[in-house]
Amino acid sequence: MYRYDEFDAAFVKERTSQFSDQVRRRLSGELNEDQFRPLRLMNGLYLQLHAYMLRIAVPYGTMSPKQLRMLAHIARTYDRNYGHFTTRQNIQFNWPKLRDIPVILELLASVEMHAIQTSGNCIRNITTDQFAGAAADEIIDPRPVAEILRQWSSLHPEFLYLPRKFKIAMSGATHDRAAIRFHDIGLQATTNAQGEIGWEVWVGGGLGRTPIIGKLINGHVPHEHLLAYLESILRVYNRYGRRDNKFKARIKILVHEEGIESFREQVEAEFAEVKGGVLTLPQEELDRIGAYFAAPAFELLNATTIDIEREKILKPAYG
């Protein structure tokens, strides 16, 4: 899994210190709730009926044993001995006290975790297939690309105040186990006629009160242009997405009302402006990030075993 470099560690430490000071000012009364609200939402902190809730980022649903033990420690010490894993593969604690949040964030930072962009109208956690990196039908391990998308989207100055929250899912396998068509953007690994790996891009999906299946906007975006293409989609959404009604502010409503052809034209026009620029992703960077993700050490089993053969005899449908 990805490990923090010096920049990551310094960034999370600085952000933790900054929010700790904001919490101090809220507790002292220097900030009222209206002033504090946008600050806490930037750091994954919700105010519920009886307590605060802290949502912690688990990028693409991957964590180490050390991180899991730290979450258990936080649950025992600062919550009620449990947490809730979410649809976006994060974890949240529902009973922390505001005065303890700075300590919790420092503990998280010590194991390379944080709560940044787990709430608010921004790009949320990138999710993947639960078998990412291990599935037999995998075209490509999506986790390195998901990590690159995480770095690109973290505190992106243009996309911190989108019309509504924004969710991206990726599948690197032939069988979609990430439900990509039910996300704001869904990415499906694919190969073109030349055998080159790229990404099918689906847009405008979602569930909730208005369930809509996403539409295919591009059948093959090469690796090196993926960031530029996603940036183009986000720019169009940020410009035209509704901000007057939060129930109609998701990109699925924009795509539905505009129509996929019109939406595609606007995205392609934006893409033509940014393609080949600073958002081009070199193969060297993919390889560098990919080196952090080792394949699982599976035990090799015989192709045929007595148990399997017995099951085939006892249960014809099994074979």
Contact 207, 195 (CB under 8 A): no
Residue 304 above 60 pLDDT?
Answer: no
Residue 309 above 80 pLDDT?
Answer: no
- 62-100 b/e (C-beta count within 10 Å ≥ 16 → b): bbeeebeebbeebbeebbeeebeebebbbbbbbbbebeb
What are residue 198's DSSP bridge partners? 190, 222
User: CA torsion, points 56, 58, 63, 65, in degrees to nearest 10?
Assistant: 10
Considering the domain architecture, whether residues 97 and 205 belong to the same structural domain is answered as no
Tokens of 19: 């929010």
Assign residue 240 the CATH number of its domain: 3.30.413.10
Is residue 309, in this structure, part of any structural domain at all?
A: no
Considering the domain architecture, whether residues 184 and 276 belong to the same structural domain is answered as yes
* DSSP per-residue letters across 269-292: HHHHHHTTSTT---HHHHHHHHTT
- The CA distances from residue 273 to 32, 162, 211, 231, 269, in Å, are 43, 21, 32, 11, 7
- Its domain, for residue 179, covers 127-290
Confidence of residue 301 (pLDDT cuts 50, 70, 90): low
The mean pLDDT value for 253-271 works out to 98
Considering the domain architecture, whether residues 106 and 131 belong to the same structural domain is answered as no
Residue type, 14: E
Confidence of residue 174 (pLDDT cuts 50, 70, 90): very high
Give the SS3 label for residue 130: coil
Is residue 118, in this structure, part of any structural domain at all?
A: no
Considering the domain architecture, whether residues 281 and 147 belong to the same structural domain is answered as yes
Query: Residue 319: what pLDDT?
Result: 56
Tokens of 54: 């802290």
Considering the domain architecture, whether residues 83 and 133 belong to the same structural domain is answered as no
The mean pLDDT value for 176-205 works out to 97
Considering the domain architecture, whether residues 11 and 90 belong to the same structural domain is answered as yes
Query: Residue 79: what pLDDT?
Result: 98
Is residue 306, in this structure, part of any structural domain at all?
A: no
Please count the other Cβ atoms lying within 10 Å of the Cβ belonging to residue 105: 27
**Domains contained in the chain, number:** 2
Considering the domain architecture, whether residues 102 and 196 belong to the same structural domain is answered as no
Query: Residue 311: what pLDDT?
Result: 73
Considering the domain architecture, whether residues 281 and 163 belong to the same structural domain is answered as yes
Tokens of 188: 């499906």
The mean pLDDT value for 248-261 works out to 98
Contact 205, 184 (CB under 8 A): yes
Considering the domain architecture, whether residues 142 and 183 belong to the same structural domain is answered as yes
Considering the domain architecture, whether residues 86 and 157 belong to the same structural domain is answered as no
Sheet arrangement for strand 168-171? 127-128, 168-171, 185-191, 197-203, 215-222
The mean pLDDT value for 214-224 works out to 97
Considering the domain architecture, whether residues 50 and 155 belong to the same structural domain is answered as no
Which pLDDT tens digit goes with each residue over 110-140?
999 999 999 999 999 999 999 999 998 999 9
Tell which residue, 159, 165, 198, 200, has the closest CA to residue 181.
200
Highest mean pLDDT among 28-32, 154-158, 191-195: 28-32
Give the SS3 label for residue 180: helix
Alpha carbon 181 to its chain centroid, in Å, reads 15
